[in-house]
Amino acid sequence: MVDLKLLAYLESYLTENRRQRFDKVIEERTKHFTVATEDVYQLHNTSAVIRSCDVFGIQEVHIVEERNSKRIDREIAMGAQKWVDLNRFHSVKTCIQDLKQKGYQIVATSPHANNCLLHEFDVTKKSCFFFGRETEGLSQEVIDQADTFLKIPMYGFTESLNISVSAAIVLQHVTTKLKQTDIDWKLSLEERLQKRLDWIKKTIKSYDEIVERFYESS
């Protein structure tokens, strides 16, 4: 449980504009949808996906690094990694197990799958959208474990999009449709409080010293 007195004390160190910004952004955050990237080789692609998740209110990103393990490109992500929760996995198997235990259906994005076109996707289901390697696409393991497949309609000679572009298109569409439903897609009260505390910790300098002073004076 979040200490509400501590939270109020810490928020006194924020500007009014920053507090209002936190209020506005956190109200649009969701865990109804999440994203997973599988062994993406180009660093800027993973970073750009994280940035898109922040832009469209996706709170969690799952990064599978079974073959490739790289740091997040801070310049491309433009600070988004501060506001989005990154969950890293060393195998697809453990990532999928974790997601399914949390109630997510596995959605494999592929230009070659005909299961479901983007405009037909059922946004009522709690879903994780998997995006694969730049040249190879998703692994067979993800394909085998997928609950459904999702395809962005394309009408040109090119048969695929850059994964960061694909992620942005998918997230813009599904989050817009989600907010037109009656589904309770927002973070719970406790999740919102915890996230505010986390964001404050990443914003205030000398956070630990300030918390220590608070408890000493309490």
What integer pLDDT is reported at residue 54 of this predicted model?
A: 95
DSSP states of 32-64 as a string? SEEEEEES--SHHHHHHHHHHHHHTTB-EEEEE
The model's confidence at residue 81, banded by pLDDT at 50, 70 and 90, is: confident
| H helix or E strand, kind and range, residue 130 | strand 127-131
What integer pLDDT is reported at residue 69 of this predicted model?
A: 58
pLDDT higher than threshold 60 for residue 37? yes
The model's confidence at residue 82, banded by pLDDT at 50, 70 and 90, is: confident
| Segment 92-138, tens digit of pLDDT | 999 999 999 999 999 999 877 677 899 999 999 999 999 987 667 88
| Segment 144-163, tens digit of pLDDT | 999 999 999 888 888 778 88
User: Could you count the other beta carbons within 10 Å of the beta carbon of residue 136?
Assistant: 10
User: In DSSP terms, which residues pair with 127 in a beta bridge?
Assistant: 33, 105
The model's confidence at residue 165, banded by pLDDT at 50, 70 and 90, is: very high
3-state secondary structure of 30: strand
Average predicted confidence (pLDDT) for the chain:
90
Residues in Cβ contact with 193 at an 8 Å cutoff, skipping those fewer than 6 apart: 2, 4, 7
| pTM score, whole prediction | 0.91
